Amino acid sequence: MNIIWRMLPAFGFTLAAGLLPQAAVAQDGAAVLNARCASCHEERADGSRNRISDVRKTPEAWGMTLVRMINVHGVKLTAEERRTLVQHLSDTQGLAPSESAGYRYVLEKTPGVTDTGPTDELSQFCGRCHTYARVALQRRPKEDWLKLVHFHLGQFPTTEYQALGRDRDWWGIASTKIVEELAKLLPLESDAWTAWKDTPAPDLSGTWRFTGHRPGVGHYDGLATLTAKSGGGYQMTTKATYSDGKTAESSGSAVVYSGHEVRASMKNSDGQAWRAVLSTGGNKDALTGRWFLRDNDVIGGAVNSVRQGSAARILSVEPAYIKLGQTKQITIHGSGLAGDVTLGTGLKFQATESSTDKIVLEITADMGAATGPRDVKVGASALPGALVVYDKVDSVKITPAATIARVGGNGGPIAPVPAQFEAIGYMAGGDGKTGTEDDVRIGIMPATWTTTNFDDAAAALKDADFAGKITPTGLFEPAGAGPNPARPMSTNNAGNLAIVGTVDDDGNKLEGKAQLFVTVQRFVDPPIR
């Protein structure tokens, strides 16, 4: 498997997004399918094809299937044919927007997400070797779910003897109960797909206003321009401005799959290549998702965008909190903004800058103002809970609360995988206690960062001395891969660390802690993990 995935770049397969958006699709998908797939996947009486017609997947998953056909079964496909097939299969046998909701984090490569199935049993049977999200982003009939279970055991015969497999009748449960549950939860036919499948791909040409947040760096906003290309897809340019005034410009291309899935392949002015995984969610005037560096997908940020000229919309408020008695500059970002600004009682403000895209306010919070989240309104547009008024920070949580980093480099072919942390301030809720369900999230706050050993076992091995270091922006940089003679038994630089972020709230210092497992390289890294 390691050999297969290492060969992917040679085939032009984009590991980060699983797709090839850089070229237009010019061939007829059905014709390529008949020419390249029919010899093994026979046509049925109703025109469908064995196995191919029995599954619906994301573009990434169809791309993975084609690579398996190439490497395992010797199918000969040109790069253009692969692009054509991914486009055709995603458009005719993809997922509706509602069907991918809740599991898009695995497509967007969002770091620090805890992946779980709807039941402990599904998590154990499906989530030990890959994410449950990878399963949830497929649709099959009962007969094909059973075939997939057979395939797993044939391809990976030790499955039923691994942890959480050997302690039960793995095959008996997997081939009956698990198949029944998957067929009910994730059926091939669904009302959502029936209603969506004939929806034409929207024309995304035009200018888009976007905002987002890059962990460790901060808020950004900007414009993206999409221009339709004659053979399909879009030429795409972006310009973002960060809250510190720095700008970043990029150019590249984008493709729409399944009528709502957008994949972009970009390069910025510094020569860095990045990918974007976005969806319209069924709204042709909106795009949301995440971008990330092609070679380091931990580094990236959320994207929230709206087509300029569509309905007025507030996209974000930055900074998203103000303390009682404080005077602060806050910016409302959006598109088509017009009308009076409303923030609720107890907040006095005046606009220092105003346009249809941005309104900059100088705000003073009265000492007697009510604390808690406030709706921000501009004319008829509103963003619920967009501004938090608080009296003091009562607790700090670090996000992600638990995650991993991976050693790498040190002369080896696999780069280290860092981990990015942020400190979130909270205010006690109505019960006056911290750590309870009514705590009020204030927002991301500046912090100072340290690392320490998580437990006695980590202290005995001096993990904090060897596993890596954390930067002032909360980015943990793992140490090099390979044996370390300075450690007991020359073990590698793995470790179990506590990440400590300290927030200074006007002299009151509060700490939050997260757990970080620094582990070995990921040797198999498919587009959907």
Q: What percent of the chain is modeled with pLDDT above 70? A: 95
Query: Which of 364, 390, 416 is the last residue before a domain boundary?
Result: 390
Q: Are residues 182 and 234 in the same domain?
A: no
Q: Are residues 297 and 317 in the same domain?
A: no
Q: What pLDDT is attached to residue 19?
A: 55
Please check whether residue 471 lies inside any domain of the structure: yes
Q: Are residues 168 and 237 in the same domain?
A: no
Please check whether residue 525 lies inside any domain of the structure: no
Which residues partner with 358 through β-bridges?
333
List the CATH number of the domain containing 463. Answer: 2.60.40.10
Q: What pLDDT is attached to residue 164?
A: 84
Q: What is the pLDDT of residues 378-419, one digit of tens each?
A: 999 999 999 999 999 999 999 999 999 999 999 999 999 999
Please check whether residue 526 lies inside any domain of the structure: no
Please check whether residue 100 lies inside any domain of the structure: no
Residue burial 25-37, b: 16+ Cβ < 10 Å; e: rest: bebebeebbeebb
Q: How far apart are CA 529 and CA 127, in angstroms?
A: 10
Query: Which of 371, 390, 409 is the last residue before a domain boundary?
Result: 390
Q: Are residues 325 and 265 in the same domain?
A: no
Q: Are residues 331 and 381 in the same domain?
A: yes
H-helix or E-strand spanning residue 360: strand 358-365
φ/ψ of residue 485, rounded to 5: -60, -20
Q: Tell me the mean pLDDT per 10 residues along the chain, length 529.
A: 32 40 60 94 93 97 96 94 96 97 97 93 92 97 97 90 88 96 97 94 96 96 97 95 94 97 95 96 97 95 96 96 97 96 97 96 97 96 97 97 96 95 96 93 98 97 97 98 94 97 96 98 92
Integer CA distances (angstroms), 57 to 136, 184, 513, in order: 9, 17, 38
Q: Are residues 19 and 69 in the same domain?
A: yes
Residue type, 469: K
Count of domains in the chain?
Answer: 5
Strands (E) across 459-506 are located at 468-470, 475-478, 495-505
Q: How far apart are CA 212 and CA 210, in angstroms?
A: 7
Q: Are residues 121 and 182 in the same domain?
A: yes
Tokens at 251, concatenated: 């150019």
Q: What pLDDT is attached to residue 317?
A: 97
Q: Are residues 283 and 342 in the same domain?
A: no
Q: How far apart are CA 522 and CA 322, in angstroms?
A: 42
| Residue whose token pair is 């990918």 | 275
Tokens at 473, concatenated: 């922006």
Q: How far apart are CA 396 and CA 387, in angstroms?
A: 18
Please check whether residue 458 lies inside any domain of the structure: yes
Integer CA distances (angstroms), 44 to 198, 219, 389, in order: 22, 53, 63
Rg (CA), the chain: 25
pTM for the structure as a whole: 0.90
Please check whether residue 492 lies inside any domain of the structure: yes
Q: Are residues 475 and 400 in the same domain?
A: yes
Please check whether residue 486 lies inside any domain of the structure: yes
Does residue 100 contact residue 53 with C-beta atoms inside 8 Å? no
Q: Are residues 246 and 334 in the same domain?
A: no
Q: Are residues 168 and 213 in the same domain?
A: no
Query: Which of 288, 307, 326 is the last residue before a domain boundary?
Result: 307
Residue 488 carries which DSSP code? G
Integer CA distances (angstroms), 452 to 203, 425, 497, 507, 513, in order: 52, 21, 6, 23, 10
Please check whether residue 524 lies inside any domain of the structure: no
Q: What pLDDT is attached to residue 16?
A: 36
Q: Are residues 14 and 71 in the same domain?
A: yes
Full domain range(s) for residue 357: 313-390
